[in-house]
Structure 1
């Protein structure tokens, strides 16, 4: 697909908020049939959002499964293995056209079931079930380099939350701080953090402050995607849920509430569910169509992309 008259419909949705001005904007292409890798990357770069989801027919092993799709995710700079907020956005966009129900998204990270439900007031809500997560220790030298890039200090970290790399489809370094003020004060070295994250194959840095036993505030720098900060990060939320459970910071069966984006003026809410006997993490959020994104530069600047 390369000519203008073959250009697919490109949708714009926000995830983890019912307000188009909140949550995390994502591009959605519900039928990306025939698009090359270069064309998908070009669309993602044109939109300027942290990720765009591209849906095509399911792989050969699922030829007859209804509502199954192959899904790929592109940031403005590169393809990523999994993106939670674009998954939520794509599922809600699909439900607005085909009705709520169960979907099967086959992503580069693995199969991700998604369930879309409709509340009595008509609000659509999507729940993704992650691939099996993992939590890994991180070298102290790497923690120190991350802190230097962030302009933070060891004394800023919450000793009850040791640094780890969490995975639930993508890798995220999890760093928790003692105070909300420290989390709010984020002005980092973009190039240095990008190089560090590239070396460790990280998608974002999940920065966390604990408000209460089950309520957290988070921020996610995303320089490897060409974005200063992600306003609501479903993949990192899933990785954090696995981390918190494995380290015994929350009960094995829990419902966690993550607030993200408020420091950027795009507040969103992510619900993370942990179930005993099932290692996978469930992440739930609402979504909304973005009717008029304005220019690419304005849309990108609004959510923190460097342009």
Structure 2
């Protein structure tokens, strides 16, 4: 039997029991796929990250860390909040300075920025050790055509809203930066927080759209026009019943694709300052009592999104060990 260090980390927040909880197994070498799946099911977070030594036996390019992600039901290719959580734990355990690591995940080799933040550490009462924010580069941007009218209507019916509730600037489309989500913009933040979706209906629609997640968001136009660093431009909720997640508190793999989607449709104007970049903050989890803030940066070329980075803060809720 081997002993494994397990953390519960709340991502996209500095406050315990807010944001999105993820399990992190800090020393996962030696675990079989079946054992990883069993641990993820036991922890019962939306995702658990397993940190492994670099995969020297694969054709992958050189990397610093290998991370695999499991929901309670299945392995998933990448996960935003679990990436933030895994690299937060890795940085804390190894007392890292600010740096960039290359992580191998199922969709390839992606850079992750470790940002040592002593002002946060002081807030946590742990100034001597340091604390961290994490920024990850997501996968290739892909935005599918607008769904058919039938699927559009089916989604609205499953959400319990009408066409009049939909933000007409925002066609219902699948957007992906490595793990796709269906983008559904609506007019009212109040309506957003009152949603009680038909989860069975959403799960059925997932197969038709080839995407398991439905990201419903309401934009704050005043904040978009303000363009200050602290502006929160969107409020969101994410439902993925087809993979056993009725609602996810704060989803990096939804807010990143949202950024690409908003730039593609020119709802967010790219700064014309030579770097073709836009950044914003998004909040999610309010309806669940677990609010968290995701920082999103979108790089574009010729007005189209080409690279998305997302990130935020994290805090360890607890640590334990398990022998298997």
Please report the TM-score for the alignment, with normalisation by the length of structure 1.
Answer: 0.88
- CA shift in 2, pair 1:160/1:110, >3 Å: same
CA distance in 2, matches of 1:85, 1:31: 19
Quote the residue 1:170 is aligned against.
179
Quote the residue 1:268 is aligned against.
292
Q: 2:229 aligned with 1:221, yes or no? A: no
Quote the residue 1:125 is aligned against.
133
Quote the residue 1:40 is aligned against.
36
Shift of 1:292: 7.2
CA distance in 1, matches of 2:193, 2:307: 30
Q: 2:135 aligned with 1:135, yes or no? A: no
Contact kept? 2:5, 2:319, Cα under 8 Å: no
Q: CA RMSD, aligned part only? A: 1.8
Contact kept? 1:183, 1:207, Cα under 8 Å: yes
Equivalence map 1:1-307=2 (5 Å): 5-59=1-55, 60-61=58-59, 65=63, 68-98=64-94, 99-100=96-97, 101-121=99-119, 122=121, 123-137=131-145, 138-212=147-221, 213=224, 215-252=233-270, 253-277=277-301, 279-291=306-318
CA distance in 1, matches of 2:51, 2:199: 31
CA distance in 2, matches of 1:241, 1:256: 8
In our comparison, the structure showing a higher alpha carbon Rg is: 2
CA distance in 2, matches of 1:112, 1:220: 24
Contact kept? 2:203, 2:212, Cα under 8 Å: no
CA distance in 2, matches of 1:162, 1:200: 14
Query: Any gaps of 5 or more consecutive residues in structure 1?
Result: 294-307
CA distance in 1, matches of 2:204, 2:73: 14
- CA shift in 2, pair 1:24/1:109, >3 Å: same
Contact kept? 1:112, 1:128, Cα under 8 Å: yes
- CA shift in 2, pair 1:62/1:227, >3 Å: closer
CA distance in 2, matches of 1:241, 1:168: 10
Contact kept? 2:66, 2:105, Cα under 8 Å: yes
Please report the TM-score for the alignment, with normalisation by the length of structure 2.
Answer: 0.84
CA distance in 2, matches of 1:79, 1:197: 17
Contact kept? 1:170, 1:203, Cα under 8 Å: no
Aligned length: 287
- CA shift in 2, pair 1:162/1:63, >3 Å: closer
